Amino acid sequence: MDASHFLMFLVQRLIKALGVVIGVVILAFFLVRLAPGDPALVIAGQSGAADAQFLAQLRQQFGLDKSLGTQLLIYLKGIATLDFGYSHRVQRTVGSLIAERLPATILLTATAFIFAVSVGVTLGVLAARRVGTWADSLITVIALTCYATPLFWVGLIFILVFSIWLNWLPAIGMYSIGEDLHGLAFAWDVAQYLVLPSLTLGLFFMALYARLTRASMLEVATQDFVRTARAKGLKEGPIVRRHILRNALLPVIGFAGVQAGTIVGGSVLVETVFAWPGVGRLAFEALLARDYNLLLGVFIVTSAMAVVINLITDVIYALVDPRIEVGA
């Protein structure tokens, strides 16, 4: 791949990604601001006072008395300096709250993503290599079951079976409270809490990867270049690895980038079920309390994460598939 073309491709993708993030910020700002309910009334209710003078003071303090256009410009200026505003509910900056919860969400979603891709692709390859056999049927049934089962139901069943009946794994939280653990002991403690929520979040996407990989493998296996490789007398193992699997993984890589935003969104439900202290649960709490600044900040940060992951996926896709015109 030519270095100058690749650099041009990267710059174009960065500009597009920045445009998408700015569009998301503007859209999210108007959606949250136009939602029913007066933030000043909520703040006043939490403070125990709601007279007209106090409401006017709150609106002036948080800039709610200005026009929406002015509020948007002020907010965009703050975002440019990574200032996401102030959460009146917990009396802290939105940036510090998100920074505190974001590592937990990254750990959960990254673990679920790795599990979904590795297990899903493996099952898809096995099903395609044994198409029409009992192994293919079993993998198909498992994938369809995981795909059709709601996340919250899977989470509750996992808690019931593995935490309450078998007492193998902890049900809620991220680590054992009250135990002064450090180093490997702390990592092992977190790993045990991570098993059930990451499995719950990853099973649905594992099913998608398994089905997509199986279908892609079967389609590529019928292509002319694969028949030519077999006609030349190449062994089946190298044909599968070098010709079928490599090409079959291209749509899987593309899907992984699209799916990244979905898995972050799915973490909201899983974090709520397992009381996992991530940004998904933080967004749910902000929504219930009408903490608009916090809700807006979480939405923007998670959207930016999805855009960055899509950008990384585009780069990987261009590196894996030389047919892509990187300068286009």
What pLDDT does residue 48 have?
A: 62
Q: Residue 50 — very low, low, confident or very high, per pLDDT cuts 50/70/90?
A: low
Average pLDDT over residues 189-195: 91
- pLDDT over threshold 80, residue 174: yes
Provide the H-helix boundaries in the chain. 3-33, 39-47, 52-61, 68-80, 94-129, 134-148, 151-158, 183-221, 224-231, 236-238, 246-273, 279-288, 292-320
What pLDDT does residue 327 have?
A: 47
Mean pLDDT of the chain: 81
Q: What is the CATH number of domain 104-320?
A: 1.10.3720.10
pLDDT digits (tens, 9 = 90+) for 209-235: 888 888 888 888 888 888 888 788 777
Instruction: Quote the CA–CA distance of 105 and 113 in Å, as a whole number.
Output: 12
Q: Reduced to 3 states, what is the DSSP secondary structure of residue 87? A: strand
pLDDT digits (tens, 9 = 90+) for 258-286: 676 677 767 778 888 888 888 888 888 88
For the chain, what are the domain ranges? Answer: 3-94, 104-320
Q: What is the pTM of this model?
A: 0.79
Instruction: Quote the CA–CA distance of 213 and 252 in Å, as a whole number.
Output: 7
Nearest alpha carbon to residue 95 among 296, 307, 305: 296
- R_g (Cα) of the chain, nearest Å: 24
Classify residue 284 as exposed, middle or buried by CB count within 10 Å of its CB (0-12, 13-18, 19+): middle
Cα 36 to chain center, whole Å? 28
- pLDDT over threshold 60, residue 324: no
Q: In this structure, are residues 284 and 273 in contact, taking their beta carbons and an 8 Å threshold?
A: no
